[in-house]
Amino acid sequence: MDLKVLSGIQRTKEFLGRSVKKQNPNIILELFRKNSNYKTFGIKDTSEISNEFIEKLLVKGYSWNTIDNCSDRGRAVDLNLLNPITGKLMIGSSSGTAINILYGLNTIGIGTDGGGSVLGPAIGLNLYSVLLSGIGIKGRSRKKSTDSIEFIPGIGVIAQNFSDLQETCEIFLTESQEKIEKCCVIDLHLEDCKKLSKSYEIDLLKISERPYKREDMITFLKDIFKSYKMFIYLEKDIEIEGIGDSVLGVMGKKASEIQKSSNKGFLKVLNMLNCSAITIPTGDIGSAIVIVVPKGEKYLKSLLEVAFILSEDKRAELYKEYFLNYPLKEIDNREFKNWREYD
């Protein structure tokens, strides 16, 4: 039993009405059931996540702790929650789910991603995440983006560390897997390329300017996947400047500039292309390595293998202590002061 898990459950009540909508009243009993793995999950407040998906987690020993608040109608920013790191509006729409992982309330968080709503919040909080659209793990409803692109939301997972993310992904591995030998890479650091080159053939792609409009991004990635089964790139400095929200962006030239300066990249279309993807935080705020594979269950193992190679945790120790280890910090409260120090 992990003390951090138990304390995270206890500290959840501090977040009720904020990032947490509801806590499972039987969570402690469920945590100690016969097949428990002593790990918890939170789930975004949406009907898009199927009972079948949740059942697979329960069968593997995970215990449900929270229903997580999210942005209004899938909006790309959450007007009710702040990013705990930057103090800006929190990236949506799986906003509460990401915050609850940041503070260690849950081991993993389950969200939905139409146009970056799992990957974006995770990157904005320097967390690990996966989008599982490519292996057919999707929501229930067909929707349309603000720029009129039809999609079905994908299901994704957010975690504090790669090992918990990997363990969750392995639940969905099938026997038939295809080894990917070659990767297309843009903007990756030299050190990461050296790590990859020991096991994979790497083609470095240089482009003068990345596409910005969703339609152009989709065309770009479709061309990539004609020649490659894996694409690796950097999402950098997202939501540090500007607000990446289409509802705002349609309100004139200035609003459009604000939206564009949020710097969101291909994460806006990965679900729309039915890709699977894993994000690895670089340590820089709002930045991550993103590993992408096209539709197909057979690519999941290669996706995990490459992600493992690049999974080194480069985040600052102060960040880890202040946020990730929040449940392990004593509550400074005069009324309940620990008097043992005077024994």
Q: What CA–CA distance (Å, rounded) separates 48 from 138?
A: 8
User: Is the model's pLDDT at 320 over the cut of 80?
Assistant: yes
Q: What is the pLDDT of residues 156-208, one digit of tens each?
A: 999 999 999 999 999 999 999 999 999 999 999 999 999 999 999 999 999 98
Q: What is the pLDDT of residues 44-82, one digit of tens each?
A: 999 999 999 999 999 999 999 999 999 999 999 999 999
Query: What pTM did the predictor assign?
Result: 0.96
Span 127-156, average pLDDT = 95
Are 130 and 171 within 8 A, CB to CB? no
Q: Which of 146-150, 227-231, 243-247, 281-285 has the lowest mean pLDDT?
A: 146-150
**Dihedral angle over CA of 248, 253, 259, 263, nearest 10:** 170
318 CB-near residues (< 8 Å, 6+ apart): none
pLDDT class for 334, splitting at 50, 70, 90?
low
The pLDDT of residue 338 is 59
Q: What domains appear along the chain, each with residue ranges and CATH number?
A: 3-326 (3.90.1300.10)
Q: What is the pLDDT of residues 202-222, one digit of tens each?
A: 999 999 899 999 999 999 999
What is the biggest distance separating any 2 CA atoms in the chain, rounded to whole angstroms? 71
CA angle 290, 294, 299 (to 5 degrees): 90
β 288-293/231-235 pair status: antiparallel
